[in-house]
Structure 1
């Protein structure tokens, strides 16, 4: 199974729902990462604001930040190799890397509700 690591730019949270306007791309990638984890894919996201040590300990990310600045983020690694810079991977790219259909990556969770009525 592939190992995917995503290094996010500095932000207050990774969901995209904080602040005055929700970022649909952050919402999409949050859902996709959640679904990848449900499929037992080894996937991690690191936020520059809350997890700066991850950026310092990864020599390649550290060097990209020095050479290209924070505009290089987000950066995605698959099995330790940079596969995308300056943008989040598309569903199709993730499908290609993991073998999991793009439709499954974006599937919304199904919630089953049971309504009990008083007799």
Structure 2
């Protein structure tokens, strides 16, 4: 199975879906992330503000940050290789990355939970 790792820029909480001005891209991705996880995807997220060691200890991410800086985050790795940078993957992309049926991706409703299923970040 493909391992999907998302390296977020510095966010106020684990999902970035908090505060008074919420970025709709983060709301959508939080729902898509939870959906992919529920489908059995091997997927995880790392927040630069809360987990800086995950960035420093990963040679691909560390090299990316040294070359490009944090302005191009988020960074998406598939099995340790860069697959996407500068934006969050859409649900169909997550499905393709994880080998989830495209029917499942197209038929599942998007969740609208404030924190994408996480508690305590709002």
Higher relative contact order structure (alpha carbons within 8 Å, sequence separation ≥ 6): 2
Q: Where does the alignment leave 5 or more consecutive residues of structure 2 unmatched? A: 113-122
Q: Distance in 1 between matches of 2:108 and 2:34?
A: 9
Residue 62 (structure 1) aligns with: 62
Structure 1 segments (4+ residues) deviating >6 Å: none
1:19, CA displacement in angstroms? 2.0
Task: Give the aligned CA root-mean-square deviation in angstroms.
Answer: 1.9
**How far did 1:16 drift?**
3.5
- For residue 2 of structure 1, report the CA deviation from its aligned partner: 1.4
Q: How does 1:36-51 map to 2 (within 5 A)?
A: 36-51=36-51
Structure 1, gaps ≥5 residues long:
110-119
TM-score by length of 1: 0.81
Q: Distance in 2 between matches of 1:10 and 1:52?
A: 9
Aligned residues: 109
